[in-house]
Amino acid sequence: MQALVKRIFPLAMVLLLCMSTRVAAGNKVLSEVAESEAPMITTTQMERFPFIPIQDELLAKLNVLESHIILQKGTERAFTGKYTDTTDEGTYYCRQCNAPLYYSEDKFHSNCGWPSFDDELPNAVRKFPDPDGMRTEIVCATCEGHLGHVFVGEGYTDKNIRHCVNSISLVFKPGPPVAKAVFAGGCFWGVEYLFEKLEGVHAAASGYTGGHTENPTYRQVLTHTTGHLEAVEVLYDPRIISYEQLAKYFFEIHDPTQTDGQGPDIGNQYLSAIFYRNRVEYDTAVALIGILESRGMDIATKILPAAVFWPAEEYHQDYYELKGTLPYCHSWTKRF
C-alpha cells in the first residue's frame, strides 16, 4: 500500500499543477478580454477601412541573393551567415522593411549554422506551416519577408523554442529596439509634445505624410494641394510600450470626432488619421474605433496604409519645448 501511495502521489501533484496552470491561464485570458473589450472586426468595418499591405516605396531594394532568401524563401548555406555567432548587444531588424524583429538578449548559440533566437519582439513575427506540413515558417509580420523556421521542444533554452533565421534576412543595429508608428491628429506640435512624454517612447518627430508631393514644405502643405496631413512619427521600444497603448493614447489626446480639422485648425492637413504598417496595427486601430463607436462616439479618424514620412522643417520640431508653453488644442482625456 505504501509503495502504491509513493507511485500515485507524484502523479497527483503533476495533475494538480497542470490544473492550476490551466486555471491561471484561463483567468489571464478572461482578464485580458475584459480589459480590451476588443470587438470582432466586421465586414462593414473592413469595407470602410480596406486593408492594404505595406507599399513598395517603404521597402528596401534587394539584390539577387537577398531576393532569393527573402522573397523566394530560400536558405543560405549553414555557417556562412554574417550573424551566426555574433554576441553584440543590439537589435536585429528586417532587411526589407526595417521593422525590429529580435533583441540580442534572446539570441543563443545552437551550433545549427544559423542565428538562433528563443523569442521575438512583440508582434514582430508571423508563423505559417510549410506546404509539406513538416516545418513552420517564420516571416516578418510587417512585410512578410521570409526569415527562416521555428522549432520547439529541442531543449536549448528554458523557453524551449528556436527561431532559426537567415542572416541575410536581418540587419543588426546597436541599441534597444526602435519601432515606428505614425499618427495625424491636427497640428503636429501638440501631438509630438504629448507623445514624447510617454515612457518607452524614444522620440517623436513632426512631419508630413499621406500625400503625393515629394519632400513638401510647410508652405506647400498650407495650400491644401499636396494631399499631406500634418503627422507625427513616434519611435518607441515595443518591449516597454505597445502599439495598442500608443493608439489608445492617440485617441485620448485629440478629438477623433471632428471631421474638418482639429480645434481651431481647419483644413485637410489637420484631419485625424492612423497610418498602419502591418496587419496588427490595422486590426488594433479598427478595433479601437469599434470600441469608441460602441460607446456612442462618431469617429472621423481615417485608417490609412503607411506612406513615406517627410520630416517637417527644423523650427517645427520640439516646438513647445523650445517655446516653453503648452499645446493649445491637445490635452489628455481618458476614453479607455
Please list the rounded mean pLDDT of every run of 10 residues in the chain (336 residues): 39 36 35 46 86 97 98 97 97 98 98 97 97 94 98 97 98 98 98 98 98 97 96 98 98 97 95 98 97 97 98 96 92 96
Percentage helix, strand, coil for the chain under 3-state DSSP, each rounded to 5: 30, 25, 45
Tens-place pLDDT, residues 12-65: 433 333 333 333 333 333 333 334 455 577 888 888 999 999 999 999 999 999
**Residue 268 — φ and ψ, nearest 5°?**
-70, -20
The CATH number, out of the four listed (3.30.1060.10, 2.60.120.20, 2.60.40.10, 3.30.70.360), of the domain defined by the range 179-323? 3.30.1060.10
Whole-angstrom distance, CA of residue 295 vs CA of residue 72: 46
Query: Which pLDDT score is estimated for 28?
Result: 35
At 185-217, the pLDDT tens digits run 999 999 999 999 999 999 999 999 999 999 999
User: What are the residue ranges spanned by the domains of the chain?
Assistant: 59-174, 179-323
- For residues 123-145, b (16+ Cβ closer than 10 Å) or e, as one string? bbbbeeeeeeeeeebbbbbbbbb
pLDDT for position 154: 96
CA angle 187, 58, 268 (to 5 degrees): 25
User: Which residue from 145, 141, 135, 129 is spatially nearest to 73, judged by alpha carbons?
Assistant: 145
CA 190 vs CA 41, 134, 147, 193, 311: distances in Å: 31, 52, 39, 5, 16
Cell of 133: 506540413
pLDDT at 132: 86
DSSP string, 167-206: GGGEEEEESS--EEEEEEESSHHHHHHHHTTSTTEEEEEE
pLDDT of residue 16: 35
DSSP secondary structure code for residue 263 in this structure: T
pLDDT at 17: 36
Q: How far is CA 10 from CA 7, 14, 16, 18, in A?
A: 6, 6, 10, 12
143 is catalytic: no
Q: Are 191 and 185 in contact (CB under 8 A)?
A: yes
- From the list 94, 97, 187, 329, the catalytic residue is 187
**Candidate list 140, 143, 164, 329, residue with the active-site label:** 164
Distance CA 168, CA 96 (A): 10
187 in active site: yes
Q: Does domain 59-174 have CATH number 2.170.150.20?
A: yes
